Amino acid sequence: MDKKALEALLSEMSLEEKVMQLVQIPGSEYEADAEITGVTRGQADEKVKRLAGSTLGVWGSKRLKKIQENYMKEHPHHIPLMFMLDVIHGHKTVLPCPLGQGATFDPEAVKKGAAMQAKEASSDGVHATFSPMADLCRDARWGRIMESTGEDKYLNSCMATAMVEGYQGEDLKDPEHIAACVKHFAAYGAGEGGRDYNNTELSEHTLREHYLRAYGEAIKKNPAMVMTSFNTINGIPATGNTFLMKKILREEFGFKGVLISDWAAVGEMINHGFAEDQKDAAFKAMMAGVDIDMTSGCYSGYLEELVKSGEISEKMLDEAVLRVLNMKNDLGLFEDPFREIDMEEGASVTEESRKLARKTVAESLVLLENKAQALPLRKERNAFIGPFVNTKRLQSSWAFSGEDENTVTVFEAASEIYESGNIKFAEGCTMMDQDSVTARGVCHMENWQEENEKLLSEALEAAKWADTVILCLGEDSTQSGEATSKASLKLPAVQLKLLDELSKIGKRIVTLIFTGRPLELADVAKLSDAMLVCWLPGTEGGNGVMDVLSGKTSPSGRLPVSFPYTVGQEPLHYDMYSTGRPKPASGPSEYTSRYLDCENGALYPFGYGLSYTTFEYSGASLSKEKMTSGETLTASVKVRNTGDMKGDVTVQLYIRDITGSRVRPIRELAGFKKISLEPGSEEIVSFKISEEMLRFWTAEEKWDSEPGRFNVWLCDSSVDGETLEFRLD
Ligand code: NOJ
């Protein structure tokens, strides 16, 4: 449909019809077993069901075709209904959780993964996903850190951008692609104390320089939607925040698409104490520019009244409705409301999708320790012990459309590689401590104590038999994701006890950590010969993990978030400020900015990750000592594979602006390149540095660079490298 036809359609629509385009209702209104991803309040009445412009949480080609046919028949202008779904790290084929994808430092792989998810979701009738989540996360207590790609604005920008491109492709009309939604705008990851839905207090410069960056970069790729966040920012809920939505999102970022609220977030402005009642909430959300009200009922209940009374102008309403109609049109729904979906087949896991997932898993694993080359595994007696060895629950709670039975467990994959006489499996302990609280409630097991005693003795037997114990520990998938904030970052006590007991047997221990968030691993590291972070790896988890354990692939993942010594360091991030009393690298540190009982930095810092081979960095240099605004300079370093195995390495570029009108972080990631090196081979890796890369939100409240000295590092993690220097004149 062309623009004129769309406007003509709008002009024919009744006020009620228009309002309803801005209403999204849960899929459970159409299908009883739809996924409910928030708290529901009552049922929508028949009129709302007949006219609501979009729904969420249902998928399946046949089901959606039926819903669409019935809906369009009833709709006065036969406008198609839009189907949205949380396709967060996979639809049928589940990839590593987003934090794991961040660890790949491979935006190209992430883009391919997003395209694969789009294709699967689209063939199941889905039009739009609520992804990518571009929230910057510096706090491991926040369970939703699992849904992010980490603590760094630059890495997050690369990943969010890649996801938007992958989901949407070149043209949204292409039925292999779906609409993306950049969320949660804004700064949802900065909730006080790491508690979900909590308030955020952020200065404008921190907001702009750090928290807004990845959303802004992703929006440059024209995502169809942006979602508001649940939190307040400096006292104003994001969903009613005109500064954020009008000034920054629409004016500065130039976002032209549909702004959707998060689940019930419009109505939650009443709880925040920002709106008087549902009508006031609808008014405030509209004034802030929220186009679609996801499930709160405020727009369906009161928007018509607000327009009739003139409090909301019809022009404002029309603009919002037109954005929604435009999105439907961009998706090609007016020409083909079913987008060529194959009604019979629907989406399924394929050989090709498995291949991509497996490769991504292998790329996402981060080797934290490898004492005396405990890894790769030798062809000897290996005992696979722990609650993650043979579980199919290797995906996050957001991957609800993927079926567990498609998942390859670690033990299944290991059994393909090793002869049965050479491996043993023992569960070792329950996944959780007795009465652990998860997003889904309290986990209580009747015979928990007896069961664990039995599992432990089996594990000890297996360990005595083995040469190496591969211990698969971690956090259950219901303990990260939405509403899963935690004040402790320790593994469950029952798992730590298992490790402790096994360590007494004196065999080599390789510990695998399955997790959606950074955990306290200092004690685990002490008792382990090797330690590998596996995240929540998804459908091909077992195969990807075994590719690395067996040495088929050398690990190349890098931490996208700092792993702390202790939870007391949170929020923790590498790009901190110097302070007036920085703690010296060595020597006395009284009266400096430090903890008496802990390091300042991370146990395992951002960007860190080992390989089976070794890399040597040498000859780091800058092409010139000075540059002016219009120029660029080149930073280069030679990287050599000094080990005896092929490996991938992520060369990282960090910059520090030494003096500014506002203080600048001690380091900021400004680029990275992943290269593959054969043993003995070397490559010169170069990055261009331009004036644009040196800009920040200055004391004059504008994006600018300032003349002066800058440090540069070309290195292997956020804490190493030789310090280089140049001047910007
Ligand atoms: C609430 C979550 O915050 C958001 O990320 C998700 O997309 C919506 N619910 C829809 O399920």
Beta strands at 181-185 and 225-228: parallel, antiparallel or unpaired: parallel
The answer on 553 and 677 residing in a single domain is no
The answer on 510 and 439 residing in a single domain is yes
Tell whether ligand 1 has an atom less than 6 A from the beta carbon of residue 369.
no
In contact, 101 and 561? CB cutoff 8 Å? no
Query: Tell me, what's the pLDDT at 725?
Result: 98
The last residue of a domain, from among 510, 541, 558: 558
Give the separation between CA 212 and CA 208, rounded to whole angstroms.
Answer: 5
Give the separation between CA 497 and CA 698, rounded to whole angstroms.
Answer: 51
- Chain segment 315-331, per-residue pLDDT in tens: 999 999 999 999 999 99
- Supply 639's token pair: 């990287």
The last residue of a domain, from among 558, 582, 601: 558
% of the chain beyond a pLDDT of 90: 96
The C-alpha torsion from 23 through 24 and 25 to 31, rounded to 10°, is 130
Ligand 1 atom closest to 57 (CA): 11
Q: Half-sphere exposure (CA, 13 Å, Cβ side) for 349?
A: 21
Nearest CA to ligand 1 atom 4: 262
- Supply 543's token pair: 């195969």
In contact, 205 and 188? CB cutoff 8 Å? no
Q: Half-sphere exposure (CA, 13 Å, Cβ side) for 332?
A: 17
- Chain segment 510-527, per-residue pLDDT in tens: 999 999 999 999 999 999
The answer on 360 and 257 residing in a single domain is no
Give the separation between CA 573 and CA 152, rounded to whole angstroms.
Answer: 8
Tell whether ligand 1 has an atom less than 6 A from the beta carbon of residue 147.
no
Tell whether ligand 1 has an atom less than 6 A from the beta carbon of residue 129.
no
The answer on 124 and 178 residing in a single domain is yes
Average pLDDT over residues 528-539: 98
% of the chain beyond a pLDDT of 70: 100
Tell whether ligand 1 has an atom less than 6 A from the beta carbon of residue 183.
yes
Domain membership of residue 34 (yes or no) is yes
The answer on 719 and 648 residing in a single domain is yes
- Supply 474's token pair: 């971690």
CA 165 vs. chain centroid, Å, equals 16
Tokens 């952020």 map to which residue? 202
Give the separation between CA 505 and CA 529, rounded to whole angstroms.
Answer: 14
- pTM of the predicted model, to two decimals? 0.98
Say how many C-beta atoms besides its own lie within 10 A of residue 590's C-beta. 7
- Supply 669's token pair: 């990631």
Domain membership of residue 579 (yes or no) is no
Ligand 1 atom closest to 130 (CA): 7
Give the separation between CA 490 and CA 419, rounded to whole angstroms.
Answer: 35
Domain membership of residue 578 (yes or no) is no
Of 545, 538, 548, whose CA–CA distance to 95 is shortest? 538
Give distance in angstroms: CA of 561 to centre of ligand 1.
23
In contact, 245 and 289? CB cutoff 8 Å? yes
Q: Active-site residue among 196, 262, 291, 657? A: 262
Domain membership of residue 577 (yes or no) is no
In contact, 187 and 202? CB cutoff 8 Å? yes
- Residue 344's pLDDT band, with cuts at 50, 70 and 90, is low
The answer on 259 and 358 residing in a single domain is no
Q: What are the counts of helices (DSSP H) followed by strands (DSSP E) for the chain? A: 20, 28
Q: What is the DSSP string of 129-144?
A: E---B------TTSGG
Ligand 1 atom closest to 88 (CA): 7
Give the dihedral sign, CA 416/422/427/428: negative
- Residue 440's pLDDT band, with cuts at 50, 70 and 90, is confident
Question: Three-state DSSP class for 99?
Answer: helix
In contact, 654 and 715? CB cutoff 8 Å? yes
Give the separation between CA 660 and CA 54, rounded to whole angstroms.
Answer: 48
- Chain segment 649-688, per-residue pLDDT in tens: 999 999 999 999 999 999 999 999 999 999 999 999 999 9
- Supply 620's token pair: 């780091």
In contact, 602 and 563? CB cutoff 8 Å? yes
Domain membership of residue 573 (yes or no) is no
Give distance in angstroms: CA of 197 to centre of ligand 1.
12
Give distance in angstroms: CA of 283 to centre of ligand 1.
22
Of 648, 645, 692, whose CA–CA distance to 673 is shortest? 648
The answer on 294 and 388 residing in a single domain is no
Give the separation between CA 418 and CA 672, rounded to whole angstroms.
Answer: 37
Tell whether ligand 1 has an atom less than 6 A from the beta carbon of residue 482.
yes
The answer on 387 and 306 residing in a single domain is no
Average pLDDT over residues 62-73: 94
187 conformational bin, left if phi > 0, alpha if psi -120 to 50, beta if neither? left
Tell whether ligand 1 has an atom less than 6 A from the beta carbon of residue 37.
yes
Q: Where are the alpha helices (DSSP H) in 384-492?
A: 410-417, 448-465
CA 490 vs. chain centroid, Å, equals 21
Ligand 1 probe mutation, 86, 97, 178, 230, most atoms within 8 A of CB: 86
Ligand 1 atom closest to 37 (CA): 11
Q: What is the DSSP string of 469-488?
A: EEEEEE--GGGSSTT---S-
The answer on 275 and 221 residing in a single domain is yes
In contact, 225 and 258? CB cutoff 8 Å? yes
Beta bridge partners of 210: none
The answer on 384 and 325 residing in a single domain is no
CATH number at residue 313: 3.20.20.300
Count structural domains, the chain: 3
- Supply 36's token pair: 């409910």
Which CA distances in Å does 285 have to 24, 119, 188, 189?
14, 33, 17, 21
Task: Let me know if 262 is a catalytic residue.
Answer: yes
- Supply 14's token pair: 């009744």
Give the separation between CA 202 and CA 721, rounded to whole angstroms.
Answer: 31
Give distance in angstroms: CA of 188 to centre of ligand 1.
12
Give the separation between CA 604 and CA 304, rounded to whole angstroms.
Answer: 55
Query: Tell me, what's the pLDDT at 343?
Result: 60
Query: Tell me, what's the pLDDT at 32?
Result: 82
CATH number at residue 476: 3.40.50.1700
The answer on 296 and 358 residing in a single domain is no
Domain membership of residue 671 (yes or no) is yes
Q: Name residue 615's amino acid.
A: F
The answer on 259 and 226 residing in a single domain is yes
- Supply 269's token pair: 């402005």
Tell whether ligand 1 has an atom less than 6 A from the beta carbon of residue 71.
no
pLDDT at 729 over 80: yes
Domain membership of residue 167 (yes or no) is yes
In contact, 460 and 501? CB cutoff 8 Å? yes
pLDDT at 219 over 80: yes
Average pLDDT over residues 383-398: 97
Give distance in angstroms: CA of 77 to centre of ligand 1.
29
Question: Three-state DSSP class for 637?
Answer: strand
Ligand 1 atom closest to 230 (CA): 3
Give the dihedral sign, CA 308/311/312/313: positive
- Supply 557's token pair: 């993942």
- Range of 259's domain? 3-330
Q: Where are the alpha helices (DSSP H) in 289-313?
A: 298-308
Domain membership of residue 576 (yes or no) is no
Give distance in angstroms: CA of 37 to centre of ligand 1.
6
CATH number at residue 684: 2.60.40.10
Query: Tell me, what's the pLDDT at 342?
Result: 64
As a whole number of Å, the CA-based R_g of the chain is 26
Give distance in angstroms: CA of 24 to centre of ligand 1.
13
Burial 179-190 (b: 16+ CB within 10 A, else e): bbbbbbbbbbbb
In contact, 654 and 713? CB cutoff 8 Å? yes
Intra-chain end-to-end CA distance of the chain, in Å: 53
